[in-house]
A = this chain, B = another copy of it.
């Protein structure tokens, strides 16, 4: 992308803040539990009002049980000379997540089944975990693996502990007035990888900061930040009534890469959430990659499950599964930039604006067009043509009069501003502004709260 979708100044400041957070958070060893998560959240709370919640080891959460907390102090493989050839302190990806304690000497043959590398990417250290099967292992690059002596003997130390403790999550509920609630979720359980998922942590936090500063919100926005899978399931189990009430949401993930924007659609395909994202991209002049819904991915697996059926979309920039460096040590601070995060933030923010500004309006003058002229809304001299610049037959929305026509035409109490933006092809911000002007002229009125539940899907 040539430039930023935000104004350069704004993007610059936000990009810088995002870049600074990236650098601070990158080295921390996060997992689904433990001090790394707590440390990460503490840093993010400097920027936004995250609230911490912990669930104790052993708590039953639907089909799952909150696991023991993982403590890791050090881990290495040393050769016969005592030299640490693989060292957790150099890169926390070297240790398989949730590895149990080990302290042993062993031959290469004994060690080999515990080593993970990527033959096709010889410089990359893969990311691997073993949360629920007691196991241990090391990840290393194919090049490192090649330097090991097949006849050597190695000292293996994992100074870790699995102990009763807690699983840590964070949330923040920004109350709105409509009684309708939306969700913004990201996960905080990945160690030193920048796109997956420092990008989500940072964009979510900056979004929360932005929304928390707004004087008034139409809808309630629930932000959650939690370990993937077990964290989301634990949160759902502890907030089931509220979560059953959520109308839609976003899972913020892998949105900081150098590649094209992407959108993973919700399982409803054409829900308000999907439409808001499409309008945000359209109005930004960006055509994203489109990913069909699938029940893999991230915590849409939980939120969209039968008992909740929350439609969730993801705006990504180098989507998980799709980029070469996914789940490797190459997903680093060279790959992700604050600038890219600021661009993703702008698009999430624009989609949220669509949802926030969306309303159902009804014409006070439903019997034909209003007399715009006496309200100063019509050119004084009639008869001239507004030629479509494209020279084609598509509806031409070139001026305010065209937008007024579309808005007044659709304002029957059954269409909302999103419908109007879609059918007129007008920019959503313009639709909002023109609608507001028409309200001031008493040509439109908002449909009363009780009836304001606009259809969430396109008619």
Interface residues of A (CB under 8 A from B): 62-64, 96-97, 116, 126-133, 135, 137, 229, 232-233, 236-237, 240, 267, 289-292, 294-296, 301-302, 304-309, 321-322, 326-327, 362-363, 365-371, 373-374, 380-385, 387, 393-396, 402, 405-406, 408-409, 411-413
Q: Is the CB of B62 within 8 A of A368?
A: yes
Q: Is the CB of B383 within 8 A of A126?
A: yes
Q: Could you tell me the distance between the alpha carbons of A295 and B424 in the complex, rounded to whole angstroms?
A: 9
Q: Is the CB of B129 within 8 A of A306?
A: no
Name the residue among A126, A229, A368 with the largest chain B CB count within 10 angstroms: A368
Q: Is the CB of A327 within 8 A of B63?
A: no
Query: A63 — which chain B residues lie within 8 A by C-beta?
Result: 365, 367-368, 370-371
* A128 smallest CB distance to B (angstroms): 4
With A129-B382, A130-B382, A382-B128 as known contacts, state yes or no: A363 contacts B301, CB within 8 Å: no
With A131-B382, A327-B384, A382-B128 as known contacts, state yes or no: A409 contacts B373, CB within 8 Å: no
Q: Is the CB of A383 within 8 A of B302?
A: no
Q: Could you tell me the distance between the alpha carbons of A187 and B199 in the complex, rounded to whole angstroms?
A: 60
Q: Could you tell me the distance between the alpha carbons of A289 and B236 in the complex, rounded to whole angstroms?
A: 48
Q: Could you tell me the distance between the alpha carbons of A327 and B387 in the complex, rounded to whole angstroms?
A: 13
Contact of A135 among B96, B290, B294, B381 (CB under 8 A): B381
* A311 smallest CB distance to B (angstroms): 13
Q: Is the CB of A116 within 8 A of B366?
A: no
Q: Is the CB of A305 within 8 A of B130?
A: no
CB closest chain-B residue, reference A404: B295
Q: Is the CB of B368 within 8 A of A233?
A: yes
* A132 smallest CB distance to B (angstroms): 4
Q: Is the CB of A301 within 8 A of B368?
A: yes
* A196 smallest CB distance to B (angstroms): 10
* A106 smallest CB distance to B (angstroms): 19
Q: Could you tell me the distance between the alpha carbons of A176 and B418 in the complex, rounded to whole angstroms?
A: 41
* A117 smallest CB distance to B (angstroms): 12
Query: A384 — which chain B residues lie within 8 A by C-beta?
Result: 126, 128, 327
Q: Could you tell me the distance between the alpha carbons of A49 and B127 in the complex, rounded to whole angstroms?
A: 62
* A264 smallest CB distance to B (angstroms): 9
Name the residue among A296, A321, A373 with the largest chain B CB count within 10 angstroms: A296
Contact of A383 among B129, B294, B394 (CB under 8 A): B129
Query: A383 — which chain B residues lie within 8 A by C-beta?
Result: 97, 126-129, 327
Q: Is the CB of B126 within 8 A of A393?
A: no
Q: Return 30 A-B CB contacts under 8 Å, by A number.
A: A62-B367, A63-B367, A126-B383, A128-B381, A129-B381, A129-B382, A129-B383, A131-B373, A131-B382, A135-B381, A233-B367, A233-B369, A267-B409, A291-B393, A292-B393, A294-B405, A294-B406, A295-B405, A295-B406, A296-B395, A301-B368, A301-B369, A301-B409, A305-B366, A305-B368, A305-B408, A306-B366, A307-B368, A322-B393, A327-B385
Q: Could you tell me the distance between the alpha carbons of A322 and B126 in the complex, rounded to whole angstroms?
A: 58
Q: Is the CB of B305 within 8 A of A237?
A: no
* A64 smallest CB distance to B (angstroms): 5
Q: Is the CB of A292 within 8 A of B128?
A: no
Q: Could you tell me the distance between the alpha carbons of A218 and B200 in the complex, rounded to whole angstroms?
A: 49
CB closest chain-B residue, reference A229: B369
* A365 smallest CB distance to B (angstroms): 5
Query: A306 — which chain B residues lie within 8 A by C-beta?
Result: 362-363, 366, 409, 411-413
Query: A127 — which chain B residues lie within 8 A by C-beta?
Result: 383
Name the residue among A382, A387, A406 with the largest chain B CB count within 10 angstroms: A382
Query: A126 — which chain B residues lie within 8 A by C-beta?
Result: 383-384
* A189 smallest CB distance to B (angstroms): 11
* A424 smallest CB distance to B (angstroms): 8
CB closest chain-B residue, reference A395: B294
With A135-B380, A381-B137, A405-B296 as known contacts, state yes or no: A393 contacts B290, CB within 8 Å: yes
Q: Could you tell me the distance between the alpha carbons of A455 and B106 in the complex, rounded to whole angstroms?
A: 61
* A66 smallest CB distance to B (angstroms): 12
